[in-house]
Chains A and B, each alone.
Chain A
Amino acid sequence: MKQVVFLLILIFNLLSGVSQQPKRITVCETCELKSIAEAIKTASDHDTLVIKKATYKEYNILVDRPLTIIGENYPVIDGEDKGEIIRIVSDNVTIDGLFIINVGTSYTSDYAAIRVVKSENFVIQNVVLEKLFFGIYLEKSNHGKVYHNKIVGDAQDEYNSGNGIQLWYSHNIEVSNNIVQGARDGIYLEFSHNVKIHNNKSTDNLRYGLHFMFSDDDVYTNNVFENNGAGVAVMFSKRITMKGNTFRKNWGTAAFGVLLKEINDAEIIENTFEENTIGIHIEGSNRITYKGNNFIKNGWGIKVLGACYTNTFSANNFLYNSFDISYNSKLNDNVFDGNYWSNYTGYDLDKNGIGDVPYRPVKLFSYVVNQTPEAIILLRSLFMDIIDFSEKVSPVFTPDNLMDINPLMTKVQ
């Protein structure tokens, strides 16, 4: 009996399944369906909405069932600054190829161009966002993909601008090949674990190119962060891997390639830090491996503030930085071993490729500049070279055990 009932249910399901075959719904100016919101209401689960090229003045579009929404030739959705534009509250939603502009700005709620709420298995790709407040906002949503989108903001002030891509309590997400510029923070993560961020380009953002808070086990690789207000900030997170990223031209008073604050057990490998005011600014971060990175023409290659223990720096290139390393205390518990320093002036008599004299990367002058910032104008003066030399001979103000015993004679390739 049981089997019969089961069989009947199966047949019924199959039949109803046939009747609910996923269908393609077209939305265009001359079609029956002229609005996206309307089309969503008529659609069944797993249908595909094809949006033809036109301008749709809509906002508060609620995607509450698993749908694929595809734009053809980038149809424009103009929110006319009235509020949020698309909100996804269902699993298995794909958004592809839309051009969304004029997201409303509010001081009380974070309007986004696309917001995903408590949903899984979503894909947002090939979307162009302009004139936005928040761009793509993932809220307690997991296992999704944000791929190949372009977000161009025009943020002027921090208080009335939003982030390009924001993840909040969202895990196992892949954010890749996006271009984000002119937002407050390019990419922002808070309480989001196991996120993979790669091949993105985050430039000209008001504050940070990438901003991490309380997010563990994340990996970001091969991204480019350039000319952001303050660079990239990674804070209060564990087991982060940063590999092959480029941090360039983050200039300014509090600007850096990367800020590491309370980061433990991270790996920073093969990144390039070029022409930043500070390459890496480290505060209270422990057990981090720095390997094979290039620090080129930064003001400060690495600036260490506060207690940082058991970090290892090896096989990095320090090239033409105004200061290679700066410490604000006399204590050192970090290891510098086998790096290449362009400022190294020692010799290699036994020709083993390792300098015979240890290199001291912390200059007295960097200590002086920490105390009296205006003294920076005396950089590279003969007087400073003389006092740096005397400090090198007998360290008084800088950590005396901080040295690279095996400085390389040639660059690490």
Chain B
Amino acid sequence: MFKILKYSFYDLIRSRWSYVYFLFYLLLGFVLLFLNNDISKAIITLMNVIIILVPLISTIFGIMYFYNSKEFTELLLAQPIKRSSIFLGQYFGVAGSLTLSLVFGLGIPFVLYGLFKSDAIFDFTLLLVTGAFLTLIFTVLSFNIALSNENKIKGFGYAVLLWLFLAVIYDGLFLMSLIVFKEYPLDGFSLAATMFNPIDLSRTLILLKLDISALLGYTGAVFKKFFGTDQGLFISMFMLVLWTVLPIWRLVIISKKKDF
């Protein structure tokens, strides 16, 4: 698996798109910090970027890579290599190069700006960790979609739809159900609903840092326990891990059954 990872990774870090992605984050980091001179504001803007753009880019990048390397995959399949190693290797190659672009692209400007001397370092680290998780999750989701759909156009469509659903539509439905059932105690429900969407989950993690004052204004006991203690952080992290591991597991299972 590590060999495949290595080659996929090399392949990717030499592709134009990784650079575009990397430069995009680099530029974003510099613009935010040096035109604005306000680290707190930069972090808030970055959060929006991370929870919206990172999933979108990971999804599209993942699905494109998978379809484009179809023949390469077939070449590998005929080699004495375990099937799961091929897909996991490719997956970690893609996710790894995307994560590195993100971490370095954003990290460099922040370090140059003097982040290590700032209190914002924890918020920033949390942002990067969340971004890395989102990359891992959305890349594996797109791999799953690609593996289940022979047709590129269809697969691409499903992937974009998945992003749109999780990034926007899900929250709309979520809010509607909150409004419809507002007579009932809903804090348990809303936390659960958050857990089922990795974007919401990541957002919650960041909210724990940025908006704890507002979150603690809410009455529900479940909320209070979740946000008021470290429990929220642990549960959210655990769910993110689950969101990463379960699709990877599915990827392995269906890759074993698939014909090429």
Mark A residues whose CB is within 8 Å of B.
251-253, 255, 275-278, 297-300, 319-320, 322-323, 342, 368, 371-386
In the complex, which residues 168-210 of chain B have their Cβ closer than 8 Å to any Cβ of chain A? 168-169, 171-172, 174-175, 178-179, 182, 186-187, 189-191, 194, 199-200, 203-204, 206-207, 210
Binds A, one of B40-48, B129-137, B152-160: B40-48
CB-based contact B216/A322 at 8 Å: no
Is B217's CB under 8 angstroms from A378's CB? no
Query: Least Cβ distance of A167 to chain B in Å?
Result: 30
Q: Decide if B213 touches A251 in the complex (CB within 8 Å).
A: yes
B1-49 interface (Cβ within 8 A of A): 38, 40-41, 44, 47-48
Chain B residues, Cβ within 8 Å of A372: 175, 178-179, 182, 186
| Complex CA distance for A377 and B128, rounded to whole angstroms | 21
List residues of chain B with CB under 8 Å of any chain A CB.
Answer: 38, 40-41, 44, 47-48, 51-52, 167-169, 171-172, 174-175, 178-179, 182, 186-187, 189-191, 194, 199-200, 203-204, 206-207, 210-220, 223-224
Question: Using Cβ atoms and an 8 Å threshold, which residues of chain B touch A323?
Answer: 214
Contact flag A300-B214 (CB < 8 Å), given A368-B175, A380-B47:
yes
Given A368-B175, A381-B203, residue A252 in contact with residue B217 (CB < 8 A) = yes
The reply to whether B175 and A297 form a contact with Cβ atoms under 8 Å apart is no
Give bound CA distance, A381 to B202, whole Å.
11
Complex Cα spacing A324 to B75, Å? 58
Q: How far is the CB of B125 from chain A (nearest CB, A)?
A: 18
Q: A376–B215 contact, CB under 8 A?
A: yes
User: Within 8 Å CB of A319, what residues of B?
Assistant: 40
Give the Cβ gap from A391 to chain B, nearest Cβ, in Å.
14
**Max chain A C-beta neighbours (<10 A), residue from B175, B206, B217:** B217
B191 contacts A377, CB within 8 Å? Answer: yes
Taking the closest CB of chain B, its distance from the CB of A228, in whole angstroms, is: 14
- B215, A299: Cβ atoms closer than 8 Å: yes
Interface contacts beyond A252-B217, A299-B211, A300-B214: sample of 11 additional A-B pairs, CB < 8 Å, sorted by A: A253-B217, A277-B213, A320-B41, A372-B186, A374-B182, A375-B175, A378-B171, A380-B203, A380-B206, A381-B51, A384-B175
B-side binding surface: helix, strand, loop or mixed? helix
Taking A277-B213, A277-B214, A298-B213 as contacts, is the C-beta distance between A379 and B207 under 8 angstroms?
Answer: yes
A371 near B218 (CB under 8 angstroms)? Answer: no
Q: Are B194 and A377 in contact (CB under 8 A)?
A: yes
Cβ contact within 8 Å between B47 and A383 = no
A275: B residues at CB distance < 8 A:
212-213
Contacting pair A373 B218 (CB below 8 A): yes
B210 proximity list for chain A (CB < 8 A): 297, 320, 322, 380
Given known A372-B178, A374-B190, A381-B200, contact A342–B41 (CB-CB < 8 A): yes
Is A299's CB under 8 angstroms from B213's CB?
yes
Contacts of B179 in A (CB 8 A): 368, 371-372, 375
Rounded to whole angstroms, the CA-CA distance of A368 and B179 in the bound complex is 9
Question: With A and B bound together, what is the CA distance between A275 and B217 in angstroms?
Answer: 12
> Can you identify 8 A-B contacts, CB atoms within 8 angstroms?
A320-B210, A322-B213, A368-B175, A374-B182, A374-B187, A379-B211, A381-B200, A383-B168
Contact between B214 and A376 (Cβ–Cβ < 8 Å)?
A: yes
In the assembled complex, which residues on chain B have CB atoms less than 8 Å from the CB atom of A342? 38, 40-41
A379: B residues at CB distance < 8 A: 203, 207, 211, 214-215
Q: Name B207's closest neighbour in chain A (CB-CB).
A: A379
- Residues of chain A within 8 A (CB-CB) of B51 are 380-382
Measured between C-beta atoms, what is the minimum distance from B183 to chain A in Å?
11
CA–CA, A381 and B200, complex, Å: 8
Q: Is the CB of B171 within 8 A of A382?
A: yes
Chain A residue at minimum C-beta to C-beta distance from B41 = A342
Q: Are B214 and A377 in contact (CB under 8 A)?
A: no
Please give, as numbers and ranges, the residues of chain B lying within 8 Å of A300 by CB-CB distance.
214, 217
Chain B nearest Cβ from A324, distance in angstroms: 12
Set of chain A residues within 8 Å of B218, measured between Cβ atoms: 253, 373-374, 376
**Which residue in chain B gives the minimum CB-CB distance to A274?**
B213
Determine the distance from Cα of A323 to Cα of B211 in the docked complex, in whole angstroms.
10
**Contact assessment for B182 and A371 in the assembled complex, using a CB-CB cutoff below 8 Å:** yes
Residues from chain A with a CB closer than 8 A to the CB of B178 are 372, 374-375
A299–B216 contact, CB under 8 A?
yes
Residues of B within 8 A of A375 (CB): 175, 178-179, 190
Q: How far is the CA of A252 from the CA of B220 in the complex (A)?
A: 11
CB neighbours of A299 from chain B (8 A): 211, 213-217
Most buried by A among B203, B207, B213: B213
| B213 and A380 contacting across the interface, CB-CB below 8 Å | no
> For residue A381, which residues in chain B have a CB less than 8 angstroms away from its CB?
51, 171, 199-200, 203
A85 CB to closest chain B CB, in angstroms? 37
Determine if A382 and B168 form an interchain contact, defined as CB atoms under 8 angstroms apart: yes
Question: B217–A383 contact, CB under 8 A?
Answer: no
Interchain CB contact under 8 A, B211 and A322: yes
Q: List chain A residues, Cβ under 8 A from B44.
A: 320
The 3 closest A-B pairs by CB, nearest first: A299-B214, A383-B171, A322-B214
With contacts A320-B41, A342-B41, A372-B179 taken as known, whether A378 is within 8 angstroms of B216 at the C-beta atoms is: no
User: Contact: B172 with A383, CB < 8 Å?
Assistant: yes
